Amino acid sequence: MSRRVGVLALQGAFEAHQHVLRGLGAESTQVRTPSDLELVDALVMPGGESTTMSHLLQTCGLFDAIDSRLQQGMPVFGTCAGMILLAKGVLDGRSDQRSFSAIDIDVRRNAYGRQIDSFETDIAVDGLAEDFHAVFIRAPQISRIGSEVEVLARHKESAVLARQGSVMVASFHPELTNDARIHSMFIGLLQEV
């Protein structure tokens, strides 16, 4: 059965995600309102600026709508700022920044430091035969991982790709490389739930 994958389209790198999802044959729509959300079976939260996204989510009424879908088990994939939005704890965030607590991790915003604000590196990913070229842009670092969370990839000790049930997060941007394998893992997860 084909599943509709929404991409949160308030701000940030949402179009690149749609491009990858469509390349995989998934039906992908932009989510900007609670009624857009009703039409999708799963959601991708893109990179961008988590403080801005948190603010926009609240002003457009999507925060509570997404929160209740997440509690019902809607599969979700958060990349970079999207990962921050899904985390339980956010370090170095703004005091009014909210997150969904959908995965038992804490993240530190912009933790990779100024000089290396952005960098690219090849990482080994569980279940993929060959390394994945990962692009990190002012990336958050996972600073705590709960026991229920499965780590799927690391970069220098830190987890950079993780999953808890139907929630998947990446601290990098898998939509920016011409490689759909991580999105394909997410689509695979939709078939499981």
Nearer to ligand GLN, 5 or 84 (CB): 84
Q: Binding residues for ligand GLN, how many (CB under 6 A)?
A: 11
Longest dimension (CA), the chain: 46
Write out the binding residues for ligand GLN, residues 101-120 only, by CB under 6 A: 109-110
| Residue 49 makes contact with ligand GLN by CB under 6 A | yes
Site for ligand GLN (CB under 6 A): which residue of 28, 50, 141, 166? 50
Which residues have a Cβ under 8 Å from the Cβ of 109 and sit 6 or more positions away?
Answer: 50, 84, 90, 91, 92, 93, 140
Residue 138 CB, shortest distance to ligand GLN, in Å, is 4
Residue 49 CB, shortest distance to ligand GLN, in Å, is 5
| Residue 138 makes contact with ligand GLN by CB under 6 A | yes
80 is catalytic: yes
60 is catalytic: no
Site for ligand GLN (CB under 6 A): which residue of 21, 37, 40, 84? 84
Stretch that binds ligand GLN, among 46-54, 145-153, 175-183, 185-193 (CB under 6 A): 46-54
Q: Cα(109)–Cα(101) distance, rounded to whole angstroms?
A: 15
Q: What is the DSSP string of the chain?
A: ---EEEEE-SSSSHHHHHHHHHHTT-EEEEE-SHHHHHT-SEEEE-SS-HHHHHHHHHHTTHHHHHHHHHHTT--EEEETHHHHHHEEEEET--TT------EEEEEETTTT-STTSEEEEEE-BTT-SS-EEEEEES--EEEEE-TTPEEEEEETTEEEEEEETTEEEESS-GGGSS--HHHHHHHHHHHH-
From the candidates 55, 155, 175, 183, give the one annotated as an active-site residue. Answer: 175
Nearer to ligand GLN, 55 or 109 (CB): 109
175 is catalytic: yes
Residue 54 CB, shortest distance to ligand GLN, in Å, is 9
From the candidates 17, 55, 155, 173, give the one annotated as an active-site residue. Answer: 173
Known catalytic residues? Answer: 80, 173, 175
Binding site for ligand GLN (CB under 6 A): 47-50, 80-81, 84, 109-110, 137-138
